[in-house]
């Protein structure tokens, strides 16, 4: 019991928080919690900002902190409000909101260095949550600056008052020493498949792109987005722009308003498609953004597919699982081909089905053409679109029950889905198998990295007609109405004032160059940072000469390289430690000699506090230690310039120590 009491009485006392350290901690709270205001409720953002401003005012006025019961009521009320806002206290959004609130409220009870350390550690943890919402380059740069600030705050807490530049330089030096370990862990630490930053319930939120149905206006709304759908890089010269049809879903069911994809029977009910490439083939790799669908948006039509994918009976390349993370695929495609010259009867029958009782004028027109050969019927429809007064626009008028009749004979204003739908309806009404294909058309080569960038604004719809002896043949009625859409892109085809995204309307060369460089940098970031998956890791290690890496070898290499890096960093920092500040060296030598005389200074103990303890425990050394501590504090923390006289007096204190008493046996 005596030993326990003695041990307790010598417990380390709480170190009071310096007044000058508080701004550092408030800045830490602001920097780590601030970016979350973009997705927090407005009332919570105001609460956090008001709380931190209140704490800054208390610091400036040197006012006491509020009583604990006030904070307790504030915490209870805020937690209840968060639970009401999100209907839960668990999950990503509610959890992040709680962390932000704790970060704002903790400084209100911050009196000791221990409380300040809690703020800093909470800041490190809160930084991780930013990647749950954004993994962009600006987010990475912000977090790099924030972690430098956090490290600097730690240095300020333990190192006392120092110039801001000195503290930041020291923090940068520490982070620089960590770079070799970061690179080694990046290369060799086992990677996982799937998104690293995300939670199961919201891993696929916010995905956009083509859907499994197409109604008037669906693609025109998609066109108004400048987001990147995918990037492709060809092994050689890419095809002509007019040949860049990227095949997505195929719609072969029509209910009078909306086109739908049809579930494909499994097994041998539908034979595998037969595609014969005619002419040149193109090898390329595509980096698809997540769209939560199975289609891979290959160049029409793919003749060689990546692993775990297949060619659907309707000729679109599909993967085994939906594309829920940014993924890379390699293809070989032929833009001139013969596909399914011998087609399954069920597919041809489905390609003739039309709902009854609608669009009588369109059916009458098709019946006039029905006696012609199928290819001539298709040419007649294209000639009608080409020669008559049809207009290409993102703002067509609304259509009623007989949508095709109103479009073909009354409004004559529409977008690609209107023209593709009307064309296919005409073909089916004339007893010619036809279907609608959606995807993307065109793209723009980025001269910085050589990737062809395809945006959501390149979304397109066209038609396919089955012709005996030729198979499925592409017909694009939009090209008959607005040929510039296919040859030059969406911007050239639409008149000024149409609601296109600014990113695709850039005219100034310097703005286009800036966009290209930024998107190339993002592409590199996506591939080598966010997309550094197990496959990419194996590719990198193979290039480094490691043909068949396994987890045992990677673990051993990780340990060895980290040890080598630690040795190099030690050899780099050791001379700097030996060449430390002469003031610190003199003080350490003095404290070492006191330790040999039976009183050791704790690592957390400041010079003046240590001198007071020496006065209590070693009265004979009190005056000399107080003098030495005074010189050290003046030289180390004083605002006046250092003088050789004071440093010499500090060194003399060491030589004035009385000799140690030796116990003779």
Contact 247, 335 (CB under 8 A): no
Q: What is the pLDDT of residue 360?
A: 95
Which listed residue (93, 291, 476, 591) is catalytic? 476
- Please enumerate in sequence order all residues whose Cβ is within 8 A of that of 447, keeping only pairs 6 or more positions apart, or say none: 516
Q: What is the pLDDT of residue 515?
A: 86
- pLDDT of 239 reads 94
* C-alpha distances out from residue 99 to 30, 72, 112, 122, Å: 13, 16, 21, 8
pLDDT band at 196 (very low <50, low <70, confident <90, very high): low
Q: Does 487 have pLDDT greater than 80?
A: no
Indicate the Cα dihedral angle 49, 51, 53, 54, nearest 10°: 160
323-370 pLDDT per residue, tens: 988 889 999 999 999 999 999 998 999 999 999 999 999 999 999 999
Q: Is the pLDDT of residue 10 over 60?
A: no
- Inter-residue contact 126 to 100 (CB < 8 Å): yes
Q: Is 416 a catalytic residue?
A: yes
For tokens 């030059």, name the residue: 488
Residue whose C-alpha is closest to residue 114's, from 158, 162, 161: 158
Which one of 458, 460, 591, 653 is the catalytic residue? 460
| Given the residues 36, 300, 405, 416, the one annotated as active site | 416
Model confidence pLDDT, tens digit, residues 234-283: 999 999 999 999 999 999 999 988 999 986 554 445 678 999 988 889 99
Question: What's the pLDDT score for residue 58?
Answer: 92
Q: State yes or no: pLDDT of 307 exceeds 70.
A: yes
Q: Which pLDDT belongs to residue 80?
A: 93
Q: How many residues does the chain have?
A: 665
Contact (CB, 8 A) for 490 and 503: no
Identify whether 460 is a catalytic site residue: yes
Element counts in the chain: helices (H) and strands (E): 24, 19
């Amino acid at each position: 019991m005596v030993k326990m009491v003695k041990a307790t009485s010598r417990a380390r006392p709480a170190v009071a928080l310096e007044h000058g350290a508080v701004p550092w901690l408030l800045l830490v709270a602001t920097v780590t919690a601030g970016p979350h205001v973009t997705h927090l409720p407005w009332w919570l953002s105001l609460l956090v900002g008001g709380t931190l401003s209140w704490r800054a005012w208390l610091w400036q006025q040197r006012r006491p902190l509020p009583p604990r019961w006030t904070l307790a009521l504030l915490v209870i009320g805020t937690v209840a409000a968060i639970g009401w806002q999100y209907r839960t206290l668990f999950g990503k959004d509610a959890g992040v909101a709680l962390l932000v609130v704790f970060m704002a409220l903790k400084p209100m009870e911050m009196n000791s260095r221990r409380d300040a350390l809690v703020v800093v550690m909470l800041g490190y943890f809160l930084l991780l949550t930013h990647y749950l919402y954004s993994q962009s380059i600006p987010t990475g740069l912000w977090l790099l600056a924030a972690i430098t600030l956090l490290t600097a705050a730690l240095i300020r807490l333990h190192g006392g008052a120092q110039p801001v530049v000195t503290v930041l330089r020291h923090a940068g030096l520490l982070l620089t020493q960590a770079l070799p370990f970061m690179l080694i862990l990046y290369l060799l630490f086992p990677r996982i498949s799937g998104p690293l930053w995300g939670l199961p319930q919201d891993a696929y939120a916010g995905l956009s792109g083509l859907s499994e149905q197409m109604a008037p206006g669906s693609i025109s709304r998609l066109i108004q987005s400048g987001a990147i759908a995918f990037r492709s890089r060809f092994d050689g010269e890419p095809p002509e722009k007019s040949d860049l049809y990227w095949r997505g879903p195929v719609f072969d069911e029509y209910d009078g308003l909306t086109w739908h994809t049809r579930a494909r029977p499994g097994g041998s009910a539908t034979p595998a498609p037969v595609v014969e490439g005619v002419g040149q083939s193109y090898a390329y790799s595509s980096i698809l953004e997540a769209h939560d669908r199975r289609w891979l948006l290959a160049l029409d039509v793919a003749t060689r597919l990546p692993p775990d994918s297949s060619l659907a009976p309707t000729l679109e390349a599909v993967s085994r699982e939906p594309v829920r993370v940014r993924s890379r695929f390699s293809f070989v495609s032929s833009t001139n081909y013969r596909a399914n010259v011998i087609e399954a009867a069920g597919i041809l029958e489905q390609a003739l089905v039309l709902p009854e009782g609608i669009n009588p004028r369109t059916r009458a027109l098709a019946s006039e053409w029905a006696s012609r050969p199928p290819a001539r019927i298709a040419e007649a429809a294209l000639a009608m679109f080409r020669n008559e007064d049809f207009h290409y626009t993102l703002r067509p008028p609304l259509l009623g029950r007989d949508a095709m009749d109103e479009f073909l004979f009354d409004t004559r204003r529409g977008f690609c889905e209107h023209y593709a739908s009307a064309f296919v309806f005409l073909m089916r009404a004339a007893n010619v198998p036809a279907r609608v294909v959606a995807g993307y058309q065109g793209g723009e080569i980025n001269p910085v990295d050589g990737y062809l960038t395809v945006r959501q604004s390149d979304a397109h719809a066209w038609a396919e007609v089955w012709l005996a002896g030729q198979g499925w043949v592409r017909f694009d009625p939009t090209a008959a109405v607005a040929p510039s859409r296919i040859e030059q892109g969406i911007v050239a085809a639409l008149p000024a004032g149409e609601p296109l995204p600014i990113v695709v309307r850039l005219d100034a060369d310097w703005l286009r160059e800036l966009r290209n460089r930024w998107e190339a940098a993002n592409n590199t970031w996506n591939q080598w940072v966010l997309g550094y998956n197990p496959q990419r890791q194996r590719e990198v290690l193979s290039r480094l000469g490691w043909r068949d890496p396994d987890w045992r070898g990677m673990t051993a290499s990780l340990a060895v390289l980290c040890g080598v890096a630690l040795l190099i960093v030690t050899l780099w920092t050791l001379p700097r430690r030996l060449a430390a500040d002469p003031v610190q060296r003199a003080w350490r030598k003095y404290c070492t000699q006191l330790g040999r005389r039976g009183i050791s200074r704790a690592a957390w103990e400041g010079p003046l506090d240590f001198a007071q303890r020496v006065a209590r425990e070693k009265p004979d050394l009190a005056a000399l230690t107080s003098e030495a501590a005074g010189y050290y504090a003046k030289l180390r923390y004083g605002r006046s310039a250092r003088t050789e006289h004071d440093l010499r007096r500090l060194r003399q204190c060491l030589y004035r120590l009385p000799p140690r008493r030796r116990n003779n046996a």
